[in-house]
Each structure stands twice: as structure tokens, then as C-alpha cells.
A and B are shown apart, each in its own frame.
Chain A
Amino acid sequence: AQSVTQPDIHITVSEGASLELRCNYSYGATPYLFWYVQSPGQGLQLLLKYFSGDTLVQGIKGFEAEFKRSQSSFNLRKPSVHWSDAAEYFCAVGGSSNTGKLIFGQGTTLQVKP
């Protein structure tokens, strides 16, 4: 069955520290992978996506993610976190042309300490 797992429900980092949010997926075909961010009271905004090619993808707001097929992972990273990065982050996998559905992970809430 298709699924996405985000092992960390909550993560707290200090402002200026580096960040890595984990995402593991289970998908039979070639996955299309996404990271979305949800700020408090807001909808979801796309940070970055991976379809093919270079396995390190750059996104908005200084985020990047690396696709590792052997580990079925698509971890999100940022070298230096800002207080405004505090939000909930969702990893998602798509690719089903039958439904267009995105399968989301449970989400990781990021708290940033001053």
C-alpha cells in the first residue's frame, strides 16, 4: 500500500541551527515527491518537489531535499533556521494519474527557539 511516514511529530531547534525533517515513503511506481509547509491559520504552500533527475532539489525559503531511492526517503533540510520557519511540514507522494491524489504523511511540527 502507498504510504508516507514522517517519524518525528515535533522537532525543536534553536534559531540559526540546521534542520533535517525525515520522510519515508512506500510507493510501487516512480514517486513524485513533495514537501508542503502550513503556517498557523494558513493553507499549505509548496516548498519543493521531485519528479526525476538530480536527486538534490532546491526549494523556496532556503529549503532543499534529497531523494534517496535505496532508502525510500526524501528528507527536507535547511542549513540555518529562522524563527519564521516555525510551522507544520508535510511530506507527500503523488503520481497516480487515476486519481491525482496526494498521499500525505502525518506532519512534523517545527518549533524554533530564540
Chain B
Amino acid sequence: EAQVTQNPRYLITVTGKKLTVTCSQNMNHEYMSWYRQDPGLGLRQIYYSMNVEVTDKGDVPEGYKVSRKEKRNFPLILESPSPNQTSLYFCASSLHPSGQDEQFFGPGTRLTVL
């Protein structure tokens, strides 16, 4: 089944404790992206990747890192999480980074930083 998977689905952590949210897609998509969803703000892009080893900042990249060593994986790293990073996170992928292709979304990761 074609899908985007994220792990973990739920995470409660404390300020400053490094964490990684994994994202994997099995559709051989070039483009992958991370969004965060906050009430009243919709989804905002954190980072994106056009292809392996090519990543760039989105609209809200502060406090996050990403890497794209393999085509299928695009982990989101919070080196020192803070309470304002409490949010619902979605990974997405599409075949091409044209903005025309449908983006497929993972199920989301709900993160709480205490």
C-alpha cells in the first residue's frame, strides 16, 4: 500500500531533550516536506526536500533540523525542544516538487513539550 508513515504518533517530552520524528514514504517520491498544524493557523511548512541531499527552510524552520540521506526517509529533528514546539506535525511527499502534484500526508505526530 502506498503510504507515508510517521513515528511516533504521540510523544510527550521535556524541554531540552533531543528528539527525532521519523518519516518514510514507499512511493519513490522526490519531494518531501514537514508541516506543523496549530489551531487557527492551518498548516505551515517547516522544511522541505527536493531530492536526496537537497533540503531547504520553509516558513517556520527555527528550532528544527532535517536530513535526506535516502530518498524514502526524511526525519525531523528537534535538538532542544521548547514548549512552543508543542504541535501536530505532518510529513508529506509528492512525486515532483512542482506544487501541482498531490501531496500525500502521513497520519501526524502529536508532540507535547513540557
Contacts and interface: CB of A to CB of B under 8 A. Distances in A.
Interface string B91-114: 010101111111101111000000
Contact of B102 (A4, A46, A97): A46
B97 A43 contact: no
A92 B10 CA distance: 26
A101 B58 CA distance: 8
A100 B41 contact: no
Contacts of A43: 4, 90, 105-108
B73 to A, nearest CB: 17
Contacts of A95: 99-100
A100 B99 contact: yes
Interface residues of A, number: 27
Contacts of A106: 40-42
Interface of A: 4, 9, 32, 34, 36, 41-46, 49, 51, 90, 92, 94-97, 99-102, 104-107
Nearest first, the 9 A-B pairs at minimum CB distance are A100-B97, A94-B99, A104-B42, A43-B105, A44-B105, A104-B43, A95-B99, A43-B107, A106-B42
25 contacts: A32-B99, A42-B107, A42-B108, A43-B4, A43-B105, A43-B108, A44-B43, A44-B92, A45-B105, A90-B42, A95-B99, A99-B48, A100-B33, A100-B48, A100-B50, A100-B97, A100-B101, A101-B33, A101-B45, A102-B99, A102-B103, A104-B35, A104-B43, A106-B41, A107-B42
